[in-house]
Amino acid sequence: PFGQIHYVKVPVGKRCGFVQFVSKAAADRAITKMNGFPIAGRQIRLSWGRSQ
């Protein structure tokens, strides 16, 4: 619903994940709409990643 996804990584045993969207606008929509959204009784935190 936010835009095309380029890459997803969910490390085993970690309570985090990484999503790379094709466009900055799609990533911005996801962060704006989903930050604080409850999943499994916990609020998720979304933020911009760092360049690698």
SS3 category, 34: helix
Q: Which two tokens stand for residue 20?
A: 């790379």
The pLDDT value recorded for residue 35 is: 98
Q: What pTM does this model have?
A: 0.84
- Angstrom distance (rounded) from CA 26 to CA 12: 26
Phi, then psi, of 2 in degrees rounded to 5: -105, -25
Domain map (residue ranges) of the chain: 5-43
Query: pLDDT tens digits, the chain, 52 residues: what are they?
Result: 899 999 999 999 998 999 999 999 999 999 999 999 999 999 999 999 987 6
H or E element: which one contains 5?
Answer: strand 5-9
